Amino acid sequence: MNNEYLRSALDYLETLPDITAATIKPGNYQCPNLNINKWTRLSIYDADFGWGRPIYMGLANVVEEGKIFILPSPTDDGSLSLVACLQIAHMKLFEKHLYEGLKSFDKIKARY
């Protein structure tokens, strides 16, 4: 990105009758990327604000398509919570590949 590119982008935005049409909104930009964030090592359930252990701690919402967050479970039983923003067709494919990938782990002998 340089000065010329940025000025070109500003010139383009000035031509739009409604600048909000150029903003990113949930579900309107068919992102080809997948971004997976693992928060399992964060001590997010250790926070006590005077009411005891939190029932839920995490993102309020995920509105950017292609974002997935893996969080520790609030029950502290070793399970995980997965928060995702994907198109319906992509969600089904992700689920299929996730379970296929997990099955392959059963065949791998742990070395640790």
Who's near 41: CB < 8 A, 6+ residues apart? none
DSSP code, position 53: S
39 with 67: CB under 8 angstroms?
no
Q: Answer yes or no: is 112 within a domain.
A: no
Q: What's the CA gap between 93 and 43, in Å, rounded?
A: 31
Domain contains 27: yes
Task: Give the integer Cα–Cα distance in Å for 59 and 95.
Answer: 21
Q: What is the pLDDT of residues 16-72, one digit of tens each?
A: 888 887 676 655 556 678 888 998 888 888 888 888 888 887 777 777 788 889 988
| Domain-located, residue 46 | yes
**pTM (predicted TM-score):** 0.60
Owning domain of residue 10 = 3-106
Helix (H) or strand (E) holding 8: helix 3-15
> What digits encode the pLDDT tens for the residues 77-87?
888 888 888 88
Instruction: CATH number of the domain at 24, please.
Output: 3.30.559.10
* The two structure tokens encoding residue 37: 């964030």
Number of domains in the chain: 1
Does 29 map to a domain? Answer: yes
- 3-8, long-range: CB within 8 Å, 24+ apart, which pairs? none
